[in-house]
Amino acid sequence: MKRTATSASLRERLRTQLADLKMPGALEALDDILRRCDAGDLAGPQAIDHLLNAHIQLLNARRLQTAMRSARLPAVKTLADFDFSFQPSVKREQIESLHTLGFIERKENVVLLGPPGVGKTHLALSLAVAAAERGRRVYFTTLADLLHSLEDAQSAGRLTHRLRTLVFPSLMVIDEIGYLPITRTGAMLFFQLLSRRYESASTILTSNKGFEAWGEIFGDDVMAAALIDRLVHHCHIVNIRGTATDSGSMLTWPVDPRLRCTPRSETTARPGGHGALRAPPPTVPFSPGGKCPIFSRC
């Protein structure tokens, strides 16, 4: 059967209808789809499918761009861009499992530890991008910027509102813990935020300091211990080894059997955890007297 080319009047009418329906994706793809129909490459139902799919793809792309801007991501990083050969200490299976985003469904946390330049922020951003692509509300900030915003809100009498706003994102990424000193007020505000997000939403943190140094970072060992306890209760710890200038600046695996510090998340399985991958129990360097500087129960 001889096919009849789409008339100019029909093409124009279709363009007008798609414009009236505010379907720019379909409008952009219309000419190519009609050309394929005229050539016999597409039947009517297939053409409709391609037309609608073109519009859906554009909507998804725009939604992702809006989500990226809202999340304040400093860059777009993906798991495909991460060089596992550069960091052989990173467990590919654990990272790929995290990128399925089951931890967000279960409201679990992720802590990435290691010296500067080993890929902590890259992995945190790739998880944020993956979450945004799947329609999750994401928010990215450095610890310094976060504390500035909380302190400003407190000064303006809007702290409660600001905390409520920051609890809302399904995934919050807090980068660069340990790079700058924190005031006691800042530490207390940070604790308030993480306490509100505890078991309500997922948080990713990156730090160039191991947990044993967080008491110094926050200026209070007791507060640091309470903060860490909340974090690791339902937590995936990613420890990235690397060359550090300070041997105490990164978390290390057990080297002295006299001291083994095990967070609660490693000893108590969370109901409904669905077998989430967990890093080996982290340890802190041996200290005189065999006492753990952070976890009082050790």
Could you tell me the CATH number of the domain that includes residue 122? 3.40.50.300
The verdict on residue 258 lying in a domain is: yes
pLDDT at 281 over 50: no
Confidence band, pLDDT 50/70/90 cuts, at residue 131: very high
What would the pLDDT profile of 216-235 be if each residue is shown by its tens digit? 999 889 999 999 998 888 99
Do residue 155 and residue 257 come from a single domain? yes
How much is the pLDDT for 124? 97
In sign, the C-alpha dihedral spanning 141, 147, 149, 154 is positive
Beta strands in 78-200 (DSSP E): 109-113, 138-142, 171-177
Within-domain flag for 3: no
Determine the pLDDT at residue 171: 97
Looking at the domain assignment, is residue 203 inside a domain?
yes
3-state secondary structure of 194: helix
Instruction: Give the pLDDT band (50/70/90) at residue 39.
Output: confident
pLDDT (0 to 100) of residue 249: 41
Is residue 285 assigned to a domain?
yes
Q: Is residue 2 part of a domain?
A: no
Question: Once rounded to an integer, what is the mean pLDDT over residues 174-202?
Answer: 94
Q: Are residues 60 and 85 in the same domain?
A: no
297 assigned to some structural domain: no
Mean pLDDT of the chain: 81
User: Which of 50, 69, 88 is where one domain is finished?
Assistant: 69
Residues 130 and 247 in one domain: yes
**Phi and psi of 123, rounded to 5°?**
-65, -40
Residue 296 in any domain: the answer is no
Q: What is the rounded distance in angstroms from the CA atom of residue 250 to the CA atom of residue 176?
A: 13
Q: Is there a single domain that holds both residue 227 and residue 251?
A: yes
Is residue 83 located within the same domain as residue 198? yes
Order the strands of the 138-142 sheet from edge to edge. Answer: 138-142, 171-177, 202-207, 109-113, 235-239
Domain total of the chain = 2
- Claim to verify: residue 22 and residue 97 sit in the same structural domain: no
Domain boundary among 69, 95, 115: 69
**Dist. CA 179–CA 80, nearest whole Å:** 28
> Which residue range is the domain that position 250 belongs to?
74-290
Q: Are residues 26 and 96 in the same domain?
A: no
| Local confidence band at 238 (pLDDT 50, 70, 90 cut-offs) | very high
Q: Are residues 57 and 178 in the same domain?
A: no
Tokens encoding 136:
């999750």
Q: Which of 69, 88, 108 corresponds to the end of one domain?
A: 69
